[in-house]
Structure 1
Amino acid sequence: MHTILKRLHDKGLVLRAADGRRGAYRPAKNAAELTAEAMHEALDQGPDPIVTLQHFVTGLSPEEERALRELLGGDGP
């Protein structure tokens, strides 16, 4: 287990405790950051990121759509 954590640490995926205790690791990014990173990667890999965004947005719930509009500074309905 320690070897896996060391490799993840070397790749910057986990952080080691400041006091250097063995086995005291934590994720370098939280779940929201990892999800956002995956979304950016998906947009970068697709042939047309705008079309991808259009498909993504049409699948949002009304609550998610309101939140997105607020984040973008747009007026809601």
Structure 2
Amino acid sequence: MRRLGGLEAEIMDRLWDWGRPATVREVVDDINRTRPVAYTTVMTVADILHRKGMVRREKAGRAWLYEALCSREEYTASLMREALGSTGNRQAALQHFVRHMSPEDVSVLAAALRASGHHFADEAPPPRPL
């Protein structure tokens, strides 16, 4: 999954934050609170997001309702997988990444690995179900 462009990210951030489908008018009105943007520009970019598979849309009267198809966290994870896949040395890339993590992020990563069934070399593997 490719990284979102500026306006694509602004639209997706609103859909993720709101957690509900929204019309282009709602998105435009919200963006216009901080900077001017044309309705047609947002409509075009929302259509691009639909074609990319980032949002689904449903007709609501004369307008389209747009809804995110993945969470912000799923999107972030896909970017991380893509970046890791672009290297010829995954181990070195992961080592560099982990070396620059905060202690809090290291703890979160360790908990996520455990929760997904992974274990560390110095830990006993989880018991197998009967």
TM-score, normalization by structure 1:
0.77
- Which residues of structure 2 form unaligned runs of 5+? 1-41, 121-130
Output the CA distance in 2 between the equivalents of 1:72 and 1:45: 22
Max Rg structure:
2
Aligned to 2:101: 60
C-alpha deviation, 1:66, in angstroms = 0.9
Does structure 1 residue 15 correspond to structure 2 residue 27?
no
> Is the 8 Å Cα contact of residues 15 and 26 (structure 1) preserved in structure 2?
yes
Total equivalences in the alignment: 73
Aligned to 1:26: 67
Output the CA distance in 1 between the equivalents of 2:67 and 2:53: 11
> Is the 8 Å Cα contact of residues 2 and 23 (structure 1) preserved in structure 2?
no
CA RMSD between the two structures: 1.8
Output the CA distance in 2 between the equivalents of 1:4 and 1:69: 38
Cα displacement string for residues 12-62 of structure 1 (whole angstroms, at most 9, x for unaligned residues): 111114xx2223102222221111101100111111111101111111111
Q: After TM superposition, which residue ranges in structure 1, 4 or more long, deviate above 2 angstroms?
A: 1-8
C-alpha deviation, 1:4, in angstroms = 3.2
User: Percent identity of the aligned residues?
Assistant: 34
Name the stretch that deviates more: 65-74 or 43-52.
Answer: 65-74
Of the two structures, which has the highest relative contact order with CA contacts closer than 8 Å and spacing of 6 or more?
2
- Determine helix, strand or coil for the equivalent of 2:56: strand
Output the CA distance in 2 between the equivalents of 1:34 and 1:2: 22
Alignment match of 1:4 (pick from 39, 45, 49): 45
